[in-house]
């Protein structure tokens, strides 16, 4: 049913009470709701190590090859719904996924990267030169520190969870793809793993990596992280 994101949903099967009492093993339950978190392809500012945040830079040639490989990978993945951040780098990553699955992309600003305020477009040496006190506070202030004209990590987490909390109700028992950013994926994975946002990140989120979380017992459970198998044999230019 999912191949072309049809709007048809199989109804839950309901049995008369007398039947369920005698044959409880025939009662069916909806499958778990699964969310697939996908990071965008490599960008020019990723390579230059510039803070991107809500600003954009185009995909590199390598990034374009990565998203093509991602699209091919998703030809073998059934999705019921596909969401994407509205930033250009995620839209360009979502397009091949949309073509591979047949799902139309729905944009949502809540899926954006953390707003990095006055740091956006700059690399670390430039930030240290132009905003030395702000950079010191950023490094030492933890998840609560809000960058000037930007967000704190906790602000970002609240925004991300606000989006995610709608998924189990809107897409019960379905598989949902979300094309987003490294920072968004990081706060969700840490939260789902029961980690403090101030805990050092000891996992990587490569470009076009795939991470899966499942809604079970009223909480998100991480089922896999960092899948880049679609890049096997990928030759970086």
How far is the C-alpha of 126 from the C-alpha of 116, rounded, in Å?
14
Q: Which CATH superfamily is domain 31-231 in?
A: Phosphoglycerate mutase-like (3.40.50.1240)
Tens of pLDDT along 166-209? Answer: 999 999 999 999 999 999 999 999 999 999 999 999 999 999 99
Active site residue 113: yes
pLDDT for res 13: 30
pLDDT for res 233: 79
* CA geometry: angle 173, 216, 78, nearest 5 deg: 35
Tell me what percent of the residues of the chain surpass a pLDDT of 70: 86
Of 34, 42, 54, 113, catalytic: 113
Q: What is the crossing angle of helices 182-192 and 153-164, to 10°?
A: 80
Mean pLDDT calculated for residue range 111-138: 98
On whether the CB atoms of residues 33 and 223 are closer than 8 A, the answer is no
The encoded tokens of residue 103 equal 């799902």
pLDDT for res 235: 66
Ranges of each domain in the chain: 31-231
Active site residue 151: no
Tens of pLDDT along 137-150? Answer: 999 999 999 999 99
Buried b (16+ CB within 10 A) or exposed e, 138-166: beeeebebbbeebbbbbbbbebbeebbee
Picking from 137, 111, 134, the residue whose alpha carbon sits closest to that of residue 122 is: 134
* CA geometry: angle 47, 236, 208, nearest 5 deg: 70
Of 34, 40, 120, 211, catalytic: 40
Tens of pLDDT along 12-30? Answer: 333 334 334 444 454 456 6
pLDDT for res 3: 39
């Amino acid at each position: 049913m999912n191949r072309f994101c049809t709007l048809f949903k199989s109804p839950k099967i309901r049995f008369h009470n007398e039947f369920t009492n005698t044959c409880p093993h025939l009662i069916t339950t909806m499958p778990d709701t699964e969310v697939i978190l996908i990071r965008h392809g490599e960008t020019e500012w990723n390579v230059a190590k510039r803070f991107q945040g809500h600003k954009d830079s185009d995909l590199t040639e390598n990034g374009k090859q990565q998203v093509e490989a991602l699209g091919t990978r998703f030809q073998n993945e059934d999705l019921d719904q596909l969401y994407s951040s509205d930033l250009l780098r995620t839209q360009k990553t979502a397009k091949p996924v949309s073509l591979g699955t047949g799902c139309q992309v729905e944009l949502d600003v809540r899926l954006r990267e953390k707003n990095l305020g006055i740091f956006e477009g700059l690399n670390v040496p430039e930030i240290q030169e132009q905003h030395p006190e702000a950079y010191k506070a950023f490094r030492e202030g933890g998840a609560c520190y809000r960058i000037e004209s930007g967000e704190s990590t906790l602000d970002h987490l609240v925004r991300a969870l606000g989006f995610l909390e709608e998924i189990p109700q809107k897409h019960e028992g379905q598989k949902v793809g979300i094309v987003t950013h490294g920072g968004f994926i990081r706060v969700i994975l840490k939260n789902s793993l029961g980690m403090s946002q101030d805990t050092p990140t000891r996992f990587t989120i490569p470009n076009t990596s795939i991470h899966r979380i499942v809604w079970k017992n009223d909480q998100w459970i991480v089922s896999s992280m960092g899948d880049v198998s679609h890049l096997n044999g990928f030759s970086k230019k």
